[in-house]
Chain A
């Protein structure tokens, strides 16, 4: 099976992604991650205004198989959260790179995005 790995964003070994929105970043989980987890039933992420740090816990995602921690790909301040997920966690399964985004972050340091795995590197990891 091959998984969707869009080229326009960076990835974590732990399967989160971050996309550059010019000063802010959007954060979510990869297609591979949602497939491994199976049907997602619950997701928890920080409130607007929370400070988050690269590689530290961002939240929790629960599927009918497992409960997993999410790690933040970037450091900064959360400026928006995708509250739709609270009522419709299936968006994470259906559209992990689009409507299933988790939070938007005002980057503490824009070069933070450069440290992430490229789409090619991440593809190598999951294949």
Chain B
């Protein structure tokens, strides 16, 4: 079956083209006058043609756009590290309840319910991470990293330490390097040991009076548990540095071991990976940050505290200030709250078991080498030929491919994380897509994908000559 009509795939010389429904922009439109504007004349126009579709035309337009895309509601989406899991609909229902979104400028007295939920969520997250206090303000995981590093920096400065280095394992996510650099630190990149874990000797050699922190995710980006974490913590703390936990992989450990118990001092929670909220994708997200007691006075303002049954907004003593407006993206956080409350301790513990089981089951079903193990919630397979081509071919088999070519420690990496939400049938479907792509000829791979709305994209041309508006679709 082909979906040319549904996806507006139009090719030159297509004999059926005249039977296709016109593009929205080609349909009836109404010329609407534009208000006067203080912008320069060459940036403004006097009128604009706004499409004037009927309701069914509009509904079809958006349905088609969604059909041209692939999302967690289309099929499995095993993008390693990103944890693209399905978000249960009840969390949306909760966020849509009347009164769920109170105006953030309202008084504490008139929004006690919201403040109570926020306080509960701070407490839940602190308990889950083994942390003392949590801020809900940062709007994404990467923003949480930046916030956590600013907190660590403020702590060091308050204690008269002008430490200027942050150590990051070379296999870490790019945002770790970026957050450290953005906060004004020199980034020291730490090579991995042969077994894919932190090289403890290299760490020992790298720490010094200049070390402000080590940033680490555990399990690491290969899905491996950093077994030497206690020794690592001792080395970093012994040098006067802090230990930062990148929470992107917390779904592997939920309910089993807590970052705070492993010796971490500050962490972020990627609520879209560990719990249930949409990935921001440019829209609202959330990346709360947890800290140990010594760092709590530096958290962003406001924190929610309870006093005699009343909830109030409080400014921490040495606060770094604000990292986002008001309380952060509250309705996203409310979905996190709903998910945690619905699953409870045993449900959350079960998610980590399923995350690990699913990754290991999928790995056992695919014909690819997986150089590093034992892995937890994700694994990195080697494609043995161009990983990007394998990934594109997997699109033709109706699934989303894994993350490709990263971490670089595995040749032609296919970093795969099926997530805890998939059933065995979905994992089998994914495995078939992996294996079919492995069996395909080089020619089939080099022209893939053939069955998607856009076909094979010329990546270099797309980066060199980006077309940034719908008008550019014509050429």
Using a CB–CB distance below 8 Å, which chain A residues touch chain B? 39, 41-42, 64-65, 89-90
The answer on a CB contact under 8 Å between B463 and A41 is: yes
B437-460 contacts to A (CB < 8 Å):
459-460
The answer on a CB contact under 8 Å between A41 and B460 is: yes
B395-435 contacts to A (CB < 8 Å):
405
In the complex, which residues of chain A have a beta carbon less than 8 angstroms from the beta carbon of B459? 39, 64
Say yes or no: is B464 at the interface (Cβ < 8 Å to chain A): yes
The interface on chain B, measured as residues whose beta carbon lies within 8 A of the other chain's beta carbons, has a size of: 5
Which residue of the partner chain B has the closest CB to A65? B405
In the complex, which residues of chain A have a beta carbon less than 8 angstroms from the beta carbon of B464? 41-42, 89-90
In the complex, which residues of chain B have a beta carbon less than 8 angstroms from the beta carbon of A39? 459-460, 463
In the complex, which residues of chain A have a beta carbon less than 8 angstroms from the beta carbon of B405? 65
In the complex, which residues of chain B have a beta carbon less than 8 angstroms from the beta carbon of A65? 405
7 shortest interchain CB distances as A-B pairs: A39-B460, A41-B463, A64-B459, A41-B464, A64-B460, A41-B460, A64-B463
- Where chain A touches its partner, the secondary structure class is loop
Q: What is the bound-complex CA distance between A42 and B465, given in angstroms?
A: 11
Q: What is the bound-complex CA distance between A118 and B8, given in angstroms?
A: 56
In the complex, which residues of chain A have a beta carbon less than 8 angstroms from the beta carbon of B460? 39, 41, 64, 90
A39-B460, A41-B463, A42-B464 are known; give 11 further A-B pairs, CB within 8 A: A39-B459, A39-B463, A41-B460, A41-B464, A42-B463, A64-B459, A64-B463, A65-B405, A89-B464, A90-B460, A90-B464
Which residue of the partner chain B has the closest CB to A93? B460
Which residue of the partner chain A has the closest CB to B408? A66
Which residue of the partner chain B has the closest CB to A89? B464
Using a CB–CB distance below 8 Å, which chain B residues touch chain A? 405, 459-460, 463-464
Q: What is the bound-complex CA distance between A59 and B463, given in angstroms?
A: 19
In the complex, which residues of chain A have a beta carbon less than 8 angstroms from the beta carbon of B463? 39, 41-42, 64
In the complex, which residues of chain B have a beta carbon less than 8 angstroms from the beta carbon of A42? 463-464
Query: Can you list 10 contacts pairing A with B, beta carbon distance less than 8 Å?
Result: A39-B459, A39-B463, A41-B460, A41-B463, A41-B464, A42-B463, A42-B464, A64-B460, A90-B460, A90-B464
- Where chain B touches its partner, the secondary structure class is helix
Q: What is the bound-complex CA distance between A64 and B466, given in angstroms?
A: 13
Nearest-Cβ distance from residue B396 to partner chain A, whole angstroms: 21
Q: What is the bound-complex CA distance between A64 and B388, given in angstroms?
A: 11
Q: What is the bound-complex CA distance between A90 and B463, given in angstroms?
A: 11
Nearest-Cβ distance from residue A91 to partner chain B, whole angstroms: 11
Which residue of the partner chain B has the closest CB to A62? B463
Nearest-Cβ distance from residue A109 to partner chain B, whole angstroms: 29
In the complex, which residues of chain B have a beta carbon less than 8 angstroms from the beta carbon of A89? 464
In the complex, which residues of chain B have a beta carbon less than 8 angstroms from the beta carbon of A41? 460, 463-464
Q: What is the bound-complex CA distance between A39 and B405, given in angstroms?
A: 16
* Most chain A Cβ neighbours within 10 Å, of B405, B459, B460: B460
Q: What is the bound-complex CA distance between A39 and B465, given in angstroms?
A: 13
Q: What is the bound-complex CA distance between A90 and B459, given in angstroms?
A: 13
Q: What is the bound-complex CA distance between A121 and B299, given in angstroms?
A: 54
Q: What is the bound-complex CA distance between A19 and B230, given in angstroms?
A: 53
Q: What is the bound-complex CA distance between A39 and B461, given in angstroms?
A: 9
Q: What is the bound-complex CA distance between A65 and B459, given in angstroms?
A: 10
Nearest-Cβ distance from residue A110 to partner chain B, whole angstroms: 33
Nearest-Cβ distance from residue A44 to partner chain B, whole angstroms: 14
Q: What is the bound-complex CA distance between A64 and B405, given in angstroms?
A: 11
Which residue of the partner chain B has the closest CB to A67? B174
Nearest-Cβ distance from residue B187 to partner chain A, whole angstroms: 13
Nearest-Cβ distance from residue A94 to partner chain B, whole angstroms: 12
Q: What is the bound-complex CA distance between A89 and B465, given in angstroms?
A: 11
Q: What is the bound-complex CA distance between A42 and B464, given in angstroms?
A: 7
Q: What is the bound-complex CA distance between A39 and B459, given in angstroms?
A: 9
Which residue of the partner chain B has the closest CB to A38? B460
Which residue of the partner chain B has the closest CB to A90? B464
Which residue of the partner chain A has the closest CB to B464? A41
Which residue of the partner chain B has the closest CB to A64? B459
Q: What is the bound-complex CA distance between A65 and B463, given in angstroms?
A: 11
In the complex, which residues of chain B have a beta carbon less than 8 angstroms from the beta carbon of A90? 460, 464
Q: What is the bound-complex CA distance between A18 and B464, given in angstroms?
A: 26
Q: What is the bound-complex CA distance between A31 and B269, given in angstroms?
A: 44
Which residue of the partner chain A has the closest CB to B174? A67
In the complex, which residues of chain B have a beta carbon less than 8 angstroms from the beta carbon of A64? 459-460, 463
Nearest-Cβ distance from residue B101 to partner chain A, whole angstroms: 39
Q: What is the bound-complex CA distance between A41 and B460, given in angstroms?
A: 6
Q: What is the bound-complex CA distance between A39 and B463, given in angstroms?
A: 10
Which residue of the partner chain B has the closest CB to A42? B463
Nearest-Cβ distance from residue B427 to partner chain A, whole angstroms: 30
Q: What is the bound-complex CA distance between A65 and B460, given in angstroms?
A: 10
Q: What is the bound-complex CA distance between A75 and B297, given in angstroms?
A: 48
